[in-house]
Amino acid sequence: MAFATSVGVAPPPRAALGGGRHVCGPPSGAARVPSPVGRLPPPGAGAHGHGAFNGGDRHVPPARSPNAVIVIGTRGSPLALAQAHETQRRLIEAHPQLAADGAIEIRVIHTTGDMVLDKALSEIGGKGLFTKEIDVAQLNGDVDIAVHSMKDVPTWLPDGIVLPCMLPREDTRDVFISKKAACLADLPDGSVIGSASLRRQSQILAKFPTLKVVNFRGNVQTRLKKLEAGVVDATMLALAGLARMDMTEHATAVVDLDDMLPAVAQGAIGITCRAGDETMAAFLAPLTHHETLDCVRAERAFLEALDGSCRTPIAGQAVLVDGGKTIAFRGLVARPDGSETIETTRRGPVAEGVAMGKDAGEELRGKMGEDFFAVPE
C-alpha cells in the first residue's frame, strides 16, 4: 500500500510553535542511532506493487530538510495534525533550541485506514490500519518519531520500534451529537446512529435495541457534515478529539462512563521512536506523563489478553485513585449486536496495573465462547 508524504504542514489554530533562530542539537549526552541500512517498502508492496514502484521507479519520500533535528510522522487528518503540533509545541517548551526555524518537521503519511473509507474498519483488517505505513517510514529513517492516537496502536509493536512517551490524557468520555434529540434515550425507535466503532455500536444496542447503527467513516469534520446533511440522526465521537481541535461546541451531550465505556487508551497520545535512538528518547523524556502511561499500559494489557482489535467490541478504562497510589480498572466485552455484555473490575497498586489488566482480560476470555465476537448472519 502506497504511503504519501508532505512537508511544511501549517498548524491548527491552537498550536503555538515558538520562534527564533539559533543552532540546535540533541540533548546533552544523547546519541542518535543510525537509520537502518537499506529501505523497507510500504506494507504489501511487491516488485511492481503499489508504493514500491510507479512506472518502474520506486516511490522516494521527500528529502529531509537540512535544518531538521526531528522529523515527526503523522496521519493527515485535522485531529492527527493537531496532535502532531501539540507534540511539536511540547518539544519546544522542553527544549527551547528546537524553536529554531525548521528544527522540527512534520511529515504526513497516509495509512490504509485513511485511504479505504468505503468499508467498515472490521472489514478491512484487524490491527495496524492506522499505523503500518508510519511504522515503515520510521524504520526506514524517513521520520524520527511518530505521533499516534493510542487507541489506534496495536498491542504489539514492530521490531525496532518502541513507545517510550505518552502525553497527558484528555477526557476519555464519548459525546452524543444530534439535532433531533438531547441524548440517546430521547431518540425515537428506528433512529439511525452513524458509527464506525463496534464498541459504541454494541453498547448502544445493548441499552437501546430499537435503534439502528450504521457504518460511518471519515474524519471528524466529514462525519459532522454527513450529520448536518441528514445522512444519520445522530453520531458519537470521542470528546478528546473535539477538545484538541477546539470543537466541543458540536457536542450535544457528554455521555457518562456508566453508559458508554471508552475504548482502551482513548484520549491518550503516544509517541514512538526507533529502538536504541537515545537522541529521540532524550528529547521525549520530559514530555512523558507517567500517570497516563501507567493507566494506558494496564488497559492495553487487558486488550492484549483478549487479542483485541477494531473487529472486536472491547472497552476498558483505568484511572488512578487514592492520591495516585491505586489503579481502578473496569473492562467490558460485548457481542456486536449488543445482545450480551460481560464486565469485570480490578483495583490494586499502580505497580500491578499491567498484571491486573492481563488478569481481567483472561477472566473475560474464559467467560466468552469461541464465537462471542461473531457477527450474526
Residues catalogued as catalytic: 152
Contact yes or no for 334/341 (Cβ under 8 A) = yes
Q: At residue 256, what is the residue type?
A: D
Could you tell me where the DSSP H helices lie in the chain?
78-94, 112-115, 121-124, 132-140, 198-207, 220-228, 239-244, 278-284, 290-305, 353-367
Q: What's the CA gap between 279 and 23, in Å, rounded? A: 16
- Cell numbers for 354: 499491567
Q: What's the CA gap between 261 and 243, in Å, rounded? A: 18
Distances (CA, A) of 29 to 25, 141, 278, 344: 11, 21, 9, 46
Closest CA to 72 of 103, 31, 99: 103
Number of neighbours of residue 85 by Cβ within 10 angstroms: 25
Q: What's the CA gap between 277 and 284, in Å, rounded? A: 11
Q: What's the CA gap between 140 and 153, in Å, rounded? A: 19
Instruction: Find the helix or strand (DSSP H, E) in which 72 lies.
Output: strand 70-74
